[in-house]
Amino acid sequence: MSQIASMTILVAMVGLRTGALLALFKFLATSFGPEGFGQLSQIMAVAAVFYMIAGGGLTNGIVRNVAAAPDRDKSASWLKAALPIVAIFAVALAAAALAIWLWGSSFLFPEQDMGYVLLAVGLAQIVVGAGNLALAYLSGIGAIRTFAAANAGGTIVATGLIAVLALTTGFRGAAVGVACLALAPALLGLVAFGRHMDWKVVWDAAFVRRQMGELLQYSGSMFLAAGAVPLALVYMRADLAESIGWKQVGLWQSVARISDAYMQVFGVLFMNYLLPQLARLPLAARGRRLGEIAIVILGLFLVGAAVFLAFSDTVLRLAFSSTFRTASVYVAPQLLGDGLKLGALAFVYYFVAVGRASVQAGAEVLVAVVMVVAYVVLLPRLGALTPLVSYAIASSVLLLVMAVVYTRHRLRQPRLAAQDGDPPRKGMM
């Protein structure tokens, strides 16, 4: 499949997912107002922390190593090495969700009795963990159409079921539904996996302890990377709700949810296009390919950002309701933070491709720490704008740090930098 076709399919997939999610957000915002939408956003964020690391957070490790594997048997051995990690993390995360439900739900949901959603999140761990593994394998072998169909189809099914739950059982049904949003794509991913790999082949594959150890490195890095910023945002939402109220959280989250929707496009391109591309190339050619793909991604972002900024009132009214038009003041700082973050992520995924998974973890921890510190310092002065300004500050710090780290990395390898235009290995494109 050509590069343009692969990118087009991935963008179309995210477009369908985005459309379904925005339709759901509009329905939920109209049904429950800014306060209810703020609470549902907190539930989605808490659930997302669990689902990103479901199964051990092995996505990047599986994508990279399966993409570089010379044959099907080698790919199967990576999957077999992952299975014990998936099982252990499913049990551990389910136990963590139960513990938070029993003793920590009042912090996550101030003045609201919504801890029951954590029970649903815990019960979903084994399915979502196995589904994450299956989807990562599909991405690694380049089965872009199947990967995209499972993701988009699952999201569309899930949003429809959440709408039905909201209509039939009210806010509590909607809360459980958004907490289980990741279940449908995971189930379809497992079904699609069966078209490309027989589980018996995985079971019969050689178990290589070294591979399990390498995957655990990615697991630890993803655990930090996937948890640091979302946990910081969970804290900021809860604190802002206590300080100013859930209505302001809902207005902020209306812009944040639109941001999440379009940032998924770029996240998918980084993880499912850029990362496999760089993993298949010889080391000397990776810098040039990084620049080519990063320019395209940043160009797409700038075009979309200009449109969103110019028509923010209309977008917010159409995506949610006229009540949310006052949230347009949050658009500019959100876009600034997103653009800076994308620039930094291009460097981050370069290091993931060369086997430096710890860089991704370090980057996300840095963003989380700077963001929380800036939030605490600026809240008395900026009020409801504080989370967005803090995010922009943290993203600018990350971009600067990653640019310096990448430059030093390239300067340490002058021979590779000089050969940066070498053609890729035969059969790897």
| pLDDT at residue 112, as a whole number | 67
- Confidence at 417, pLDDT banded by 50, 70, 90: very low
Asked if residue 330 lies in contact with residue 385, where contact means CB atoms within 8 angstroms, the answer is yes
Query: How far apart are the C-alpha atoms of 55 and 272, rounded to whole Å?
Result: 18
Higher pLDDT, 109 or 315: 315
- Confidence at 161, pLDDT banded by 50, 70, 90: very high
Q: Is the pLDDT of residue 419 over 60?
A: no
pLDDT tens readout for residues 122-134: 889 999 999 999 9
Q: What is the DSSP string of 28-49?
A: HHHHHHHHHHHHHHHHHHHHHH
| pLDDT at residue 413, as a whole number | 65
Query: How far apart are the C-alpha atoms of 339 and 145, rounded to whole Å?
Result: 28
Please choose, from the candidates 21, 28, 23, the residue with its C-alpha nearest in 3D space to the C-alpha of residue 175. Answer: 28
Please choose, from the candidates 372, 124, 364, 98, the residue with its C-alpha nearest in 3D space to the C-alpha of residue 234. Answer: 372
Q: Where are the beta strands (DSSP E) in 99-141?
A: none
CB atoms within 10 A of CB 409: 18
DSSP 57: S
Query: How far apart are the C-alpha atoms of 67 and 142, rounded to whole Å?
Result: 8
Please choose, from the candidates 273, 61, 44, the residue with its C-alpha nearest in 3D space to the C-alpha of residue 148. Answer: 273
| pLDDT at residue 429, as a whole number | 33
SS3 194: coil
Q: Which two tokens stand for residue 37?
A: 């939408």
pLDDT tens readout for residues 372-400: 999 999 999 999 999 999 999 999 999 99
Highest mean pLDDT among 98-107, 173-182, 224-233, 290-299: 173-182
Q: Has this prediction a pTM greater than 0.85?
A: no
| pLDDT at residue 398, as a whole number | 95
Query: How far apart are the C-alpha atoms of 231 and 216, rounded to whole Å?
Result: 21
Mean pLDDT of the chain: 84
Query: How far apart are the C-alpha atoms of 262 and 305, rounded to whole Å?
Result: 10
For 188-214, what is the mean pLDDT?
84
| pLDDT at residue 41, as a whole number | 83
Q: Is the pLDDT of residue 359 over 50?
A: yes
CB atoms within 10 A of CB 35: 15
Q: What is the DSSP string of 356-409?
A: -HHHHHHHHHHHHHHHHHHHHHHHHHHGGGHHHHHHHHHHHHHHHHHHHHHHHH
Query: How far apart are the C-alpha atoms of 53 and 59, rounded to whole Å?
Result: 9
Query: How far apart are the C-alpha atoms of 24 and 20, rounded to whole Å?
Result: 6
